[in-house]
Each structure stands twice: as C-alpha cells, then as structure tokens.
Amino acid sequence: MGEKETQRLTIIEAHEKLRKKEISSRELTEGIFDTISQQDKELFCYISVDRESALAAARAADERIGNGEEVGMLAGIPVAIKDNMLALGYTCTAGSKILENYAAPYDATVVRRLKEQGAVILGKTNLDEFAMGSSTENSAYGPTKNPHDTERVPGGSSGGSAAAVAAGECIYALGSDTGGSIRQPASFCGVVGLKPTYGAVSRYGLIAMASSLDQIGPFAKTVEDVEIIFDVIKGKDLLDSTSVELEAQNQKPKFQIKDIRIGVPKEYFIGGIDPAVEKLVRKAISDLEKEGAHIEEISLPHTKYALSVYYLIMPSEVSANLARYDGIKYGLSESEGNNLLDVYMKTRQKGLGDEVRRRVVLGTYVLSAGYYDAYYLQAQKVRTLIKNDFEKAFERVDVIITPTTSTTAFRLGEKTQDPLSMYLSDIFTVSAPIAGIPALSMPCGEVHGMPVGLQIMGKWFDEKTIFQVASFYENLKNNA
C-alpha cells in the first residue's frame, strides 16, 4: 500500500484491512513514518517520534492477528499523543524548556488503555507551552503549521495532534481541551475533535494546566472514529477521583433525526463572526431542519461573561499547578543562585515562556489578598450562572449547535503581539469547559480553501446523542 493510501485511511478502514490481512500493521506504520519524514520538517506536528518502539508494537499486533486472535478496533493502528500526556519511554516536555529532558515515569491512564488495545504509538505532538495558547505558536520548540496552508496556524493548544491527523501523519490522535484546545484546532485543520464531559475521561498522567477545566479527548477523520476512540479511553479510573463510570448513562434508544431538538443560541451569531463562516454554519442547521430535526432559537444569556470568567479561573489554577516547576523536584534547574529564592526565580525565568509567565502572574494576582473576592470568587459565581443557562436550555433541546470559531485559521504571527486578540479566538469554545459539558467540532465546509468547524454541544455525559447527530450530518454532507 502506497504512502498516499495510508494517509487517507480511517480507523474503520485500517482495521478491516488489518483483519483481512490486506496490509500489516508494520506496513501501515512504516507508511505513516514515510509521510512524517517527507512532511514534518515543514509542518512540525511532532516534538518526538520513536520508530523502534512503534514498529515493535506493530509487530506484536501483526502476530496477534496472524494467530487468529480477536483484536479491538485500535489494534495495530498508529496514533499520536499530545506531549502533555505521560507515555513510558518518552520524554514529556509539555512544549516547555523547563521539562526538556523529563522522562515519563509511567503511562497516563489514556495511554495505558490504548496500549491494552494494541495501539501503535508513533510519538508525541507539538503544543502551546503547557497547553496555553490558541495557535501552537507558543511551543518552546517552534510553531506547527496548518497542512491546508503552511502560512497559517493549526489552532491550539493541540495544534500538533490536529495537524498530524489532517496531514496523514497518524490515523488518529489524542489532545487535551481546557478552553477549546481540541475543538478550535479541529475546526482550523478540518478534522473531527471531541471534548468529552468533565470526568468522562481520566486525567491521570495529564500534565495539569487548569484542573477544573482540563479534559482529554480524541481527534480523527470521521465522527465514527472519534466515537471508537472515546469508547476505549472513557470511564472510571481509581487514579482520578473526578472520573465517572459511563456505561449506564450512554444507553440511548434508536436514533431518529425527527425526534431531535436542536438549540441555536442567538449569542453565538454576533458581530465579529466572518459572514462566510456564519453562512456555512447556518446552512448546516438548515440542512438538518430539512431532514426533520426541530430547530429552536435559544438564549444563553451569560455567554457574554464566559471569556472573562475563563480568563480568571484558568490562570488562577495555572498559578497553583505550575508552582511545582521550581528547579528543585524535577526538570530544568538553574542552581547558580545565592539562595533558594534565586534558584526558583532563575529556573522559571529561563524555563518558562512569555505566555506561561503572563498567565502565572495574572493568576497569582487574582488569588492575592484583597483581590480574591473581587475576581476569583466572583468568576466562580458567574460560572454557576453559565452552567445554569445550559441546564435550562437542555430542558428544551437535545443538542446545541454553534460555530466552533468565528473565523478560519489566521496567519502565523498575526496575533502573537496582541494576547487579547489571541484570547478572543476561544470565544465560542470556553463555555463548554466552564459548564463541564461535552462538545464536538466537525467540518461543515470551506472558505477560500480553509476548513470551517461546526460545534455540537450536548448534555452532561450524553456524548452518544452528539455522535448520533454528528454522524447523521456527516453522512448527509458526504452524500450531497
């Protein structure tokens, strides 16, 4: 099988070819590595790859298939892992110089679950440093480029994972989403990305950014593939007390589009959105309505505060979580100091980038005496109001559909000098993690050759309905 064929394969197609022995996992993996070697110098999706380890996993999968064993859907299929998740045998940099040589001492739960399925891990993908950013330009190792146009960003912070899937440098990938870090790059790169419900997937082994918002999720070429990955990584983990068992909640009756009520929030169709993006999203909603879905305009009145709430709560948690990178326990250490405080200051100054330091300073200020009540406490109260908005909306509708982003991918360097402009990239994605609900981004068309994302949000732990609506729309679009 040629390199171009391996680029295009979905999980389901690759699984069928492996099962029928039309291709081996070794051939599939080598085909992907050929693609990486040809493209990744320019795209820079990966911070590190491990060919030897990947081919060993591929051989093991081939042996099981050759012996006639029943294997799972992910056995022998190459995957890329965002470099803020621990994988034994790999360094885990989180895109930062402060962890440049940090060797993962164990597997994150999601990585362990993939390995148990026989997945082939290719390497670790590039990201904004400590997952802080919307463009993957904040990586200490250099920016990732969008495969559709290498002068544009892939989105962030999981830009390496999204770009790797879009460019055929893996069959699927894992990312993490704190304020949109799976959905926004999925939109910019024209792939499918899911932020699961908070607690649906274990965070054990994920380098923490903002612990009440972070969630691991999958990227793939199709909705069905994303559902396959989610079913493997989801569920209760004794090592993460916030994780939840999902089996009982996800039993859904047979899907009928005419039974689905879709909410369209007026607050998401506002000034500032690219008219061409809005037109494509509204066409997608209209297409679903023509097929029998019930469309209802709804209001999420506290949406206008979501970005402010996010940029108070998130840096506060960043400030606490990143205190551990002090040059004493692990990672970079600048020991040429006169005292302990000197070591702390020099290590963090050398090891942390501008955006990370900006968020640490902002979070520390928000949590400081005299400001905690005025900012952090107030933000938590408004967070509850945003969650209440969704609770009321989901009494009337099954899913909510919005644009994922207000524009297509912007140019490299376009927003790096204006942090506020960069933060506004998250305007349509921050509400879901604030409320803890699941949300998926999928392609719904292109504007001047650049992909546009459709966002589908659902009730807590009701990923199944999101998948059903998304699959229906995907089939509708493919057969148009």
Residue 17 pLDDT more than 50? Answer: yes
1 pLDDT more than 60: no
pLDDT band at 3, cuts 50/70/90? low
Tens-digit pLDDT profile for residues 406-457: 999 999 999 988 877 787 778 999 999 999 999 999 999 999 999 999 999 9
First-last CA distance in the chain: 29
DSSP 295: E
Predicted local confidence at residue 425, as pLDDT: 79
Please state the rounded mean pLDDT for residues 349-354: 92
> Taking a C-beta distance cutoff of 8 angstroms, is the pair 288, 262 a contact?
yes
Which residues, in sequence order, are bridge partners of residue 216? 176
In terms of C-beta density within 10 A (0-12 exposed, 13-18 middle, 19 or more buried), how is residue 55 classed? middle
Nearest in space to 55 (alpha carbons), one of 35, 33, 74, 22: 33
CA 223, CA 183: separation in Å to the nearest integer? 13
Task: Pull the structure tokens for residue 427.
Answer: 């305007």
Give the residue-averaged pLDDT of 24-46. Answer: 97
Find out whether 210 and 321 touch, Cβ atoms under 8 Å: yes
DSSP secondary structure string for all residues of 166-198: HTTSSSEEEEEESSSTTHHHHHHHT-EEEEPPT
Res. 249: pLDDT tops 50: no
The Cα 265–Cα 402 span in angstroms is 7
5 or 59, which is more confident? 59
How far apart CA 128 and CA 142 sit, in angstroms, is 9
Residues labelled catalytic: 82, 157, 181
**Half-sphere exposure at residue 79, Cβ-oriented, CA atoms within 13 angstroms:** 32
Two tokens, residue 69: 């064993």
Asked whether the predicted pLDDT for residue 268 surpasses 70, the reply is yes
pLDDT at 328: 87
Report, as an integer, the average pLDDT of 381-406: 98
Taking the domains of the chain in order of start, what are their residue ranges? 3-250
Residues 6+ apart with CB under 8 A from 382: 302, 305, 308, 309
Residue 404 half-sphere exposure toward CB, CA atoms < 13 A: 35
Model confidence band, residue 247 (pLDDT cutoffs 50, 70, 90): low
Question: pLDDT digit string (tens) for 168-185?
Answer: 999 999 999 999 999 999
pLDDT at residue 66 greater than cutoff 90: yes
Helices (H), 176-265: 183-189, 223-233
Tell me: the pLDDT tens digits for 394-419?
999 999 999 999 999 999 999 988 87
3-250, CATH topology level: Amidase signature (AS) enzymes (3.90.1300)
| pLDDT score of 252 | 60
For residues 136 and 94, is the Cβ–Cβ distance under 8 A? Answer: no
pLDDT, tens digit (0-9, with 9 covering 90-100), for 109-146: 999 999 999 999 999 999 999 999 999 999 999 999 99
Q: What angle do CA 258, 264, 269 make, to 5 degrees?
A: 150
Does 356 score more than 50 pLDDT? yes
**pLDDT-derived band of residue 334, with 50, 70 and 90 as boundaries?**
confident
Q: Where are the alpha helices (DSSP H) in 265-377?
A: 275-290, 306-321, 340-351, 354-367
Question: Distance between CA 63 and CA 25 in Å, rounded?
Answer: 10
**What pLDDT sits at residue 414?**
93
The three-state (H, E, C) secondary structure of 376-407, written as one string: HHHHHHHHHHHHHHHHHHCCCCCEEEEECCCC
Res. 2: pLDDT tops 60? no
Q: In this prediction, what percent of the chain has a pLDDT beyond 70? A: 98
Average pLDDT over residues 187-203: 98
Check whether 286 has a pLDDT greater than 60: yes
Top-confidence residue, 333 or 359: 359
User: Is residue 294 scored above 90 in pLDDT?
Assistant: yes
- Averaged pLDDT, 338-366: 92
- Rounded to an integer, the average pLDDT of 74-87 is 98
Q: What pLDDT is attached to residue 4?
A: 62
How much is the pLDDT for 449? 97
